[in-house]
Amino acid sequence: MKNLLLLSNSTTHGFSYLEHALDSIKDFFGDDHKLIAFIPYAGVTFSHDDYEAKVASVFNSLGYSINSVHNGNPRAIIEQSDAIAVGGGNTFQLLKSVYEYELMNLIRTKVENGTQYIGWSAGSNLACPTIRTTNDMPIVEPRSFQALDLIEYQINPHYLDAHPEGHHGETREQRIEEYLVLNQDKYVIGLREGSTIHVSGDKHILLGSKQARIFKFAKKAYEIEPGTDLSTIFI
């Protein structure tokens, strides 16, 4: 049974790093000690060592251990871990590295067989069928845009409704509508900051205090409330 925790973001206004999601993370992993393989590849402007230390400070406080895949053989570290965590940053760099280290099939197989997966921002994008609904600039070129395909819909993390005064570029909603014109069979979830999707088997529950926005080609976008099982909208 698949078990994923997909966060829109790592830092929310008024909270320290991942603080807004601590309860969800603890509920997700439980009280038993877990050794978690951390994938830091989305980090670009800071070292993998620094990224690991930042994430470990949070997970250690909850009773879990972090071992970043850059510390040795990435495949072996993932194989020997109880769970997988994928950090945010640049989604294109993340996917490029996952392909280069030949981790895609390994991660997919482990998660499909029950290994817990937590991702935030780019890490949530990685769980989607593709990374085509990321907000990031394509600073590198991955082998493919195809991602883990662990869920059947696309996520747009950090979803914003705002259209700043005087700004003449496309809104986030308009960009998603462009995607849907060319990918008419897909749903896109606009996941606002502070929101999380918990996937447990066939259930996909929206967590947090904010609504999420649902997009589908030729349908008017609409909001769903926290606590909604997203799987029911695909019927």
Q: Which residues are catalytic?
A: 121, 136, 158
Contacts of 206 (CB under 8 A, 6+ apart): 195, 196, 197, 212, 224, 225, 226, 227, 228, 230
How far apart, in whole angstroms, are the C-alpha atoms of residue 42 and residue 123? 8
Structure tokens at 136: 């990031």
Q: Which of 180, 189, 160 is nearest to 172 (CA)?
A: 160
How far apart, in whole angstroms, are the C-alpha atoms of residue 83 and residue 59? 12
Q: Answer whether 83's CB lies under 8 Å from 57's CB.
A: no
Structure tokens at 78: 């993932």
Q: Which of 120, 94, 92, 84 is nearest to 3 (CA)?
A: 84
Q: Which residues pair with 154 in a beta bridge?
A: 188
Q: Which residues pair with 199 in a beta bridge?
A: 4, 204
